[in-house]
Each structure stands twice: as C-alpha cells, then as structure tokens.
Amino acid sequence: MSAAPYKPSRWEFQGVRLWHAALLGGFVIAWVTGDEDTYAMHLFAGWWVAAVVTLRLVAALLAPAGSPLALKRPNRNQMLTVSILSTLALTVLAAFSGIAADVAPFLEDPHEALAVMSLWAIGLHVLVAVIVFKGRQWLRRVSAALVVVALGAVPALAADPARDAIVAAYAAQAKQQDAGFSGFSAARGEALYRLRHTVNPEIASCSTCHTDDPTKPGRHAKTGRVIEPVAVSANPKRFVEADKVEERFMRDCKSIFGRVCTATEKGDYLTFLINR
Amino acid sequence: MKRLILATILSVAVAAPAMAGGDWVAPVKDPLTLKECGSCHMAFQPAFLSADAWRKMMSNLANHFGDNAEMAPDKVSAITQYLTANAGGYRRGVSDSKITDTAWFARKHRKVAPEVWTRKDVMSRSNCPACHKQAEQGLYDDD
C-alpha cells in the first residue's frame, strides 16, 4: 500500500520563510556589529544564528517526508542543494568559531575568514535560488540592480564620507589661503611626513613617532606608548573625526615644525596616508 | 575585537582578587579624559596626583613635559574638573607635577634595576603599561 503524497500546510511554507528571515536577520546583525564597540550585540547575534540553524535541523528531523521542512527533498534542483549545504555549513562554522573565539582568541582570524566566506555563500545562494525559481528574466533584473549597487559600494569601501569631508574642508581652506591652489599631492605629503627638522631634536619628524613605514604601528618617542598605524590601508579608523585630526595637526605641527601647518600641508599629509 | 575579548577574560580573571584588597587604583572613567589624555601616554589615574598638581598641569598644556598637549578651553575645564574631583588627597597625591618624580613612586620601584627604565620597549618611567599590563584598569600589583 502506498501512502498518499504528503500535502504540506501553508504554515510549513511560512515556517521556511520565517526561518530564512530569522537566519538572515541574525547574520546581518552579526555582520554589522563585528566591531569592538558593539561586541555584546555581536555575540548575541552569533548565538542567535547558531540557535536558529539548530532549531531548523530539529524541525527537519521531525518533519514528515514531503514537507518543505524535511531534510531530504528529492525534487530539489541539485545546484540549489549544493548551495544550501555550503551556505549553511559556512554560516554555522562562522557562528560556532565566533562563539569559540570568545574564549580562545586565536580562533579570531579563522572566524573572520569564515564570516567573509559565508557572506559570499549567501550571495551565491540568492543567485542560485533566483535562477532556480524565477528563471533568467528575473536574474537579469537582479543582476542589473547588483551591478548598480556594486558600482556604488566599491568606492564606498575605500572611502569614508567623514574622511572625505575632512579633506574637502581643508581643500576649501587651501583655496582661500592660496589663490593658486591646484589640489593636494601625496608626494608633497610624503616629503612632509619624512622631512627632518631641528626645532625639537628628540622628535625630528612625523615619522619619528609614526615610523618610516606608516602601515606599521608607531611608538611615541617620549612616552613609549604604542601608536596604531596611520596609513588608512592598515587602519581604516584613521582621519574620520575632524575635531581630533585638527587638534593633532595643531599639536604635532607645533612640536615638530615649531609652527602650525597650512591647510595645503594638512591636505597633502592626509592624501599621502589615505593613498598609502 | 581581539583586545576586547582579551580584556574581558583578563578582567574577569583578575577582578575578583583585585577587589579583595590588591593595589587597585580607581581607573579613569571619564570618556573625554580617556580620549584626550590617553593618546600620547596612558590616561594616568587622577588619584596619583593632588588636585593642585592637576590644576597646575592643566593650566599649561602647551608646555607639557616638552610636548604640546593643547586642546580647546572647554575640554580643558571639563578634564580639570574630573581630575581634581578625583585627585589623591593623601598618600598617593603629592604636590608635584610628575607621578614618576614622587617619593612614593621611587619607593614602590626601588627594586627595579636602572637599566630596565631605558629598555627599548619601556623608554620612559611614565610608560606604566609596558610593565603593568593592566595599568589602565588600575592594577599595578601584577608582577
């Protein structure tokens, strides 16, 4: 006797959707809170992701064959199966490695790598799902949108609006101070960075504290305190607070050059370190 | 994030015994003081100097031990307020501007060999965190 094919209820489909939302929500929150300041939230989101996946696994084991919640779905497109498995595996590994890294900090690097990989896997998964369910027409529309987003996102990653605003403000000032101003120069900025002065022999140049290689951590020449790298490539948190930048320029220029720096010098210096 | 995790583990590991009577100096809590006075060196705990010493230092930040620590006047007064309100009135607080010049400091460090102070990773007596890893949390009895 063969059982009638299982007829899933509306709630099972809703459940699958809800689960997607819960997982994606947790992931997004974990992704955007991966910073020191929001660590508690990050940790919570990590546990959330782990719990949501575990719950899903339990539901899959309990669900009757044929339910959209079941583990095995004989009619599923194979490409989709692969993408689901890899996305889930990476997300789960990312979550658990993060939880483990909380007590074993050496797992921090693998955790970050896994998180980045799961982001890619999620992107691919969306792509595959779109292909499988909605066909190419949809895909074309989505990929056009993605290209637009990517075109906007790539420069946004390298640039920071706050930093741009600081440089722009110095440019406006430079134009006022000097009618012949024609843009900042990284080369002039580098010269300024390395030039040795005699005002204060103990701290002869910017590189005395910020080191010859601005991508490396420096050390305060008098107090010995470690200073984080000043090149933006090595330290994306650089030059994003106008108040701090201006305060430091005032102090550091006075101690090393014995005078304040001009707006052009400040812009050149920033341009050098932003492109470094 | 790494630092935060480490700090969390460390503070959990040491907080209990430290509270139980070790040499625990109330750490700096004021965010402005931490930021403005913690960039060139660690933000020294206010209890290490007297209110007078802090006032004197804060009134001449342009000549700050051979460096220039100028800042906007409103910041200066807010920080002065915090430092003097939490200054050490007795024992630790001595009316001198340098913590490392006080008799108290010399006494606590009499067993430290002279050549240690000039080691490349120490450079200066004022670099407390070079030797006291949890100096910024106010813990100095770790070694």
Q: Is the pLDDT assigned to residue B7 strictly greater than 60?
A: no
| Count of pairs with CB atoms under 8 A, one residue in A, one in B | 63
Lowest mean pLDDT among A153-162, A175-184, A243-252, B41-50: A153-162
**Among B2, B65, B67, beta carbon nearest to A105:** B2
Predicted complex ipTM: 0.70
Confidence of residue B18 (pLDDT cuts 50, 70, 90): very low
Confidence of residue A174 (pLDDT cuts 50, 70, 90): very high
Average pLDDT over every residue of B96-104: 79
Q: Is the pLDDT assigned to residue A268 strictly greater than 90?
A: yes
pTM: 0.65
Helical axes A263-274 vs A186-194, angle rounded to 10°: 100
Looking at chain B from residue 37 to 66, which residues have their Cβ under 8 Å from any Cβ of chain A?
A: 39-42, 65-66
Average pLDDT over every residue of A118-127: 89
Measured torsion, CA atoms of residues A57, A62, A64, A68, in degrees rounded to the nearest 10: -30
Q: Is the pLDDT assigned to residue B112 strictly greater than 80?
A: yes
Would the CB atoms of B41 and A202 count as touching at under 8 Å?
no
Most trustworthy range by pLDDT among A55-64, A214-223, A228-237, B73-82: B73-82
Q: Is the pLDDT assigned to residue A171 strictly greater than 80?
A: yes
Q: Round the CA-based radius of gyration of chain B to a whole number and report it.
A: 16
Buried b (16+ CB within 10 A) or exposed e, A23-49: beebbebbbebbeeeebeebbebbebb
pLDDT of residue A135: 67
**Among A108, A251, A254, beta carbon nearest to B2:** A108
Q: What is the 3-state secondary structure (H, E, C) of chain A?
A: CCCCCCCCCHHHHHHHHHHHHHHHHHHHHHHHCCCHHHHHHHHHHHHHHHHHHHHHHHHHHHCCCCCCCCCCCCCCCHHHHHHHHHHHHHHHHHHHHHHHHCCCHHHHHHHHHHHHHHHHHHHHHHHHHHHHHHHHHHHHHHHHHHHHHHHHHHHHHHCCHHHHHHHHHHHHHHHHHCCCCCCCCHHHHHHHHHCCCCCCHHHCCHHHHHCCCCCCCEECCCCCCEECCCCCCCCCCCCCCHHHHHHHHHHHHHHHHCCCCCHHHHHHHHHHHHCC
Would the CB atoms of B122 and A219 count as touching at under 8 Å?
no
Q: Which CATH number among 3.40.50.300, 1.10.760.10, 3.40.50.2300, 1.10.8.60 corresponds to the domain A161-274?
A: 1.10.760.10
**Among A34, A36, A225, beta carbon nearest to B41:** A225
Q: Is the pLDDT assigned to residue B20 strictly greater than 60?
A: no
B67-84 pLDDT per residue, tens: 899 999 999 999 999 999
Question: What is the SS3 assignment for B91?
Answer: coil
Q: Choosing among A108, A251, A255, A260, which should be mutated to test the B contact, i.e. which has the most B CBs within 10 A?
A: A251
Over chain A, what is the mean pLDDT? Answer: 85
Torsion sign, CA atoms B16, B17, B21, B24: negative
Would the CB atoms of A255 and B41 count as touching at under 8 Å?
no
What percent of chain A is predicted at pLDDT more than 90?
A: 32
List of chain B residues whose C-beta atoms are within 8 Å of the C-beta of residue A222 = 40, 65-67, 123-124
Domain ranges of chain B: 29-137
In Å, how far is A194's CA from the nearest CA of chain B?
19
List of chain B residues whose C-beta atoms are within 8 Å of the C-beta of residue A201 = none
pLDDT of residue B19: 39
Looking at chain A from residue 116 to 175, which residues have their Cβ under 8 Å from any Cβ of chain B?
A: none
Q: Is the pLDDT assigned to residue B119 strictly greater than 70?
A: yes
List of chain A residues whose C-beta atoms are within 8 Å of the C-beta of residue B5 = 39, 101-102, 105, 108
Q: Is the pLDDT assigned to residue A191 strictly greater than 90?
A: yes
Over chain B, what is the mean pLDDT? Answer: 80
What percent of chain A is predicted at pLDDT more than 70?
A: 91
Q: Is the pLDDT assigned to residue B42 strictly greater than 80?
A: yes
pLDDT of residue B108: 83
